[in-house]
Amino acid sequence: MRLATWNVNSIRARVDRIVSFAEREHIDVLAMQEIKCKPEQFPYARFEEAGYHVEAHGLDQWNGVAIASREPLEDVQYSFPGMPGFKKGHTGDDAPLEARAISALVDGVRVWSLYVPNGRGLDDPHFAYKLRFFEALRGYTASTLAGDPDLPLALVGDFNVAPFDSDNGDPSIVEGVSTHVSPAERAAFHALEEAGLQDVVRPLIPTGYTYWDYKQLRFPRDEGLRIDFVLGSRAFADAVAGASIAREERKGDGPSDHVPVVVDVDLSPEDDDVPMIFG
């Protein structure tokens, strides 16, 4: 299985680019974030013409997540158990959920397409929401893997945290001032690793960014952030055979500000069309 995650920054604004990429790169499963539309506005036909099934979760023009897959998407779930909500004027429990998580079972893999809240500012209520979101993700992961330690589980998407100093090449993002690089956010991200997930791309691609701001020539200067990840359980991680960051997708006309992160996973030996040769 070839799995990719991509914060597309509006599916309607660049559906041609996105479907072309998926076809050209032979992507089997494409997890998208920031589709910025409701399901009824999603350009399903373009994906179906290319041989993909799509499940989309969107409530308005903000956020929105989707998964496209060549194989059928089973047991689709919107939002993960314990996921917090957010709305100005609301506190904690009574806030409505946003469209930041969608999941499906594909070829036996439990895939989550996730768009972690931005945080907006270190003192903003959105920042506390971001930390609550991470803590709920950690809890979901821990309880899921406790019940099924061998589950191939993949949490993929825009985590909005640059976990290491080397993941931040944007001079406007400064520790102590900015979101994405604070100790609290980094600890919240690393807690997912303690819960049984690992970044399956990092060992294969130690450096490189996945996002560059549209402003200030950030891409030509290569002043980006590494904030898009594929986190996998042991069973998933053990099956990862390759990875790439599709930097070319930041070029040309009308790019997203994020690029796809791709992993090759070899989980289904029964799908091999070449017989095993023993001896």
Partner DNA sequence: ATGACGGCTATCAGCCGA
Where do contacts with DNA occur on this chain (CB under 7 A)? 7, 9-10, 12-14, 34, 36-37, 41, 61-62, 117-121, 126, 158, 160, 172-173, 178-180, 211, 213-217, 219-222, 225, 227, 250-252, 254, 257
160 labeled binding residue: yes
Name the packing angle between helices 125-147 and 183-194 (round to 10°): 10
* Residue 75, annotated as binding a ligand: no
Q: Which of 28, 52, 57, 115 is catalytic?
A: 115
Is the Cβ of residue 94 or residue 123 nearer to DNA in the bound state?
123
CA distance linking residue 204 with residue 241, whole number of Å:
9
- The CA-based angle 18-213-158, given to 5 degrees, is 55
- 257 annotated to bind ligand: yes
7 is in an annotated binding site: yes
Whole-angstrom distance, CA of residue 67 vs CA of residue 65: 7
Q: How far is the CB of 41 from DNA (least distance, A)?
A: 7
Minimum gap (Å) between residue 106 Cβ and DNA: 25
- Choice between 19 and 145, CB closer to DNA: 19
Q: How near is the Cβ of 209 to DNA at its closest, in Å?
A: 9
Strand 53-57 vs strand 261-265: parallel, antiparallel, or unpaired?
unpaired
Computed over its alpha carbons, how large is the radius of gyration of the chain? 18
Check 107, 129, 180, 258 and give the catalytic one.
258
Which tokens belong to 111? 């895939």
Q: Is 52 a catalytic residue?
A: no
Q: Between 26 and 251, name the residue whose CB sits nearer to DNA.
A: 251
- Nearer to DNA among residue 86 and residue 236 (C-beta): 86
Closer Cβ to DNA, 216 or 268, answer by number: 216
Burial 41-53 (b: 16+ CB within 10 A, else e): ebbbebbeeeebb
Q: Has 211 been annotated as catalytic?
A: no
Please state, in angstroms and rounded to a whole number, the distance separating the CA atoms of residues 216 and 171: 10
Q: What SS3 class is residue 185? A: helix
Indicate if 26 belongs to the active site.
Answer: no
Quote the tokens at residue 104: 């499906």
Angstrom CA distances, 141 to 176, 179, 185, 198, 263, stand at 29, 24, 17, 12, 20
Distance of closest approach, residue 34 Cβ to DNA, in angstroms:
6
Least Å distance between CB 223 and DNA? Answer: 10
Considering 107, 158, 170, 199, which one is annotated as catalytic?
158
What is the set of active-site residues? 115, 158, 258
Q: Would you list which residues are annotated within the binding site for Mg(2+)? A: 7, 34, 158, 160, 257-258
